[in-house]
Amino acid sequence: MTDHRTVGPAVARSGYLLAAFTFAVCMTGTTLPTPLYGLYQERIGFSELAVTVVFAVYAFGVIGVLLLVGNVSDAVGRRPVLLCGLVSAACSAIVFLAADSVLLLCVGRLLSGLSAGAFTGTATAYVLELAPPGRRGRAGFVATAANMGGLGCGPLLSGVLSQYAPRPLVLPFVAHLILLALACGVLLRLPETVPGARPLRTARPVRPSLPPEVRQVFVPAGIAAFAGFSLLGLFTSVAPAFLAEGLGVHNRAAVGVVVSSAFLASTLGQLLVPRLGTARAVPLGCLVLIAGLALLAGSLALTVLALLVSAALVGGAGQGMGLRGAVGEVAAASPAEHRGGVLSALFVVGYFGISVPVIGVGLLAEPLGLAHAGLVFAACMGLLAAASGAYLLHLARSGAGA
């Protein structure tokens, strides 16, 4: 339980919003390079497959942290883990400022992945625990909105700065370093929420495990997270190249708007969940996601920008519905002492959805072309989302029948 006696009443009331701010700032850095890959390709010279590999390095960094230390914050406290995440994000920005090779891009993305891995499950649990009792329901939305909203702000910020301000490969990362310093100051003012937290130096990697009472809820939630994150992975890795090559859109601010619209739609889609209920939101989110994938396939086949924007909005909304529903169901079923680890495990599944399909698109882009590789991706993810929705509906009917 949160010890609000150690802070002022204003911080006690709004602490969860301040924690969400630090969450959003960290996640902004993870998508900051998205509109800049074209500039790095001109500067360094590498293929579209290299772009997806650089992107996947980030995802595997997230997965590695979540698997090895995803539940460490349950023992050592939320704040030390989050501070480590902010430091890793700052190191990533510094590496990108010096990047002049694919290797350094990979190092920068790996550090970014480590920061996201430290934040994803831990910050979600921290926001929920800092919320006053009367605002716990709202805190679930705030946590997932901070995650998706931060991811959406990254390409928007770097797209606008790189297009209309000087030093396009410098200014976005300097701006993020300033935001990280502010987030660090905010985090240091917030209280710890883990009773009896041990020193960080005593932390030991623990193999992730799911308490028995969580497992039945976790499977459908994980399937929905995988399918939804795969669509976001495509928009943040290869969509900029398709916009430039297939649709002739070279304005980086416009690219940032298109990519960020998927994350904005995800945030808006989450607003529907309280009316639907978390259990219904997950299968309905899968159905909306299928519609977004169909629009994506139409855009790739017909090279129509309006269809691509519609795919971002519809698919993002479906992802948001499914994600908030999944987080709500899993958090409610998790014992407090395991909540950070269980939420981290959920995001492990989601980040596998970001990395594995995107690498497949990169491999297929060479022999088939980017548009046809995207069509294969849309078909595969559509089938997965359909199977997920059917499975979830079956579970719901079985539960009703029981």
Query: Per residue in 82-129, pLDDT tens?
Result: 999 999 999 999 999 999 999 999 999 999 999 998 998 899 889 999
Distance of CA 211 to the CA centre of its chain: 24
Q: pLDDT at residue 11 above 70?
A: no
Q: Could you give the percent of the chain with pLDDT greater than 90?
A: 39
C-alpha Rg value of the chain to the nearest Å: 20
320: closest CA among 120, 118, 128, 149? Answer: 149
Higher pLDDT pick, 321 / 7: 321
When pLDDT is averaged across residues 372-397 and rounded to a whole number, the result is 79
Higher pLDDT pick, 77 / 173: 173
Structure-token pair, residue 174: 């300097």
Alpha-carbon distance 102 to 51, whole Å?
Answer: 9
Q: pLDDT at residue 401 above 70?
A: no
Q: pLDDT at residue 272 above 80?
A: yes
Alpha-carbon distance 240 to 34, whole Å?
Answer: 7
Residues 208 and 67 sit within 8 Å (Cβ to Cβ) = yes
Q: pLDDT at residue 183 above 90?
A: yes
Distance separating the N- and C-terminal Cα atoms of the chain? 35
pLDDT of residue 335: 85
Q: pLDDT at residue 199 above 80?
A: no
pTM: 0.83
Q: At what angle do helices 136-164 and 102-130 cross, to 10 degrees?
A: 150
pLDDT of residue 232: 87
Let me know how many helices (H) and strands (E) the chain has, helices first.
16, 0
Residues 261 and 155 sit within 8 Å (Cβ to Cβ) = no
Structure-token pair, residue 391: 């499975």
pLDDT of residue 204: 66
Domain boundaries defined on the chain: 8-191+210-401
When pLDDT is averaged across residues 330-347 and rounded to a whole number, the result is 81
166-170: long-range contacts (C-beta < 8 A, 24 or more apart)?
168/36, 168/39, 168/252, 169/36, 169/39, 169/40, 169/43, 169/96, 169/97, 169/99, 170/97
39: closest CA among 107, 91, 96, 103? Answer: 96
Which CATH number describes the domain made up of 8-191+210-401?
A: 1.20.1250.20
pLDDT of residue 277: 80
pLDDT of residue 1: 41
Higher pLDDT pick, 144 / 164: 164
Confidence tier at 402 by pLDDT (50, 70, 90): very low
pLDDT of residue 390: 77
Higher pLDDT pick, 303 / 344: 303
Enumerate the H helices of 70-195 as residue ranges: 73-76, 78-98, 102-130, 136-164, 171-189
Largest CA distance in the chain: 64
130: closest CA among 138, 139, 122? Answer: 139
Residues 20-57: tens digit of each pLDDT: 999 999 999 999 998 998 899 888 887 777 877 887 78
When pLDDT is averaged across residues 63-89 and rounded to a whole number, the result is 87
pLDDT of residue 334: 86
Per-range mean pLDDT, top range of 227-241, 308-322, 352-366: 308-322
Alpha-carbon distance 389 to 382, whole Å?
Answer: 10
266: closest CA among 190, 207, 317, 213? Answer: 317
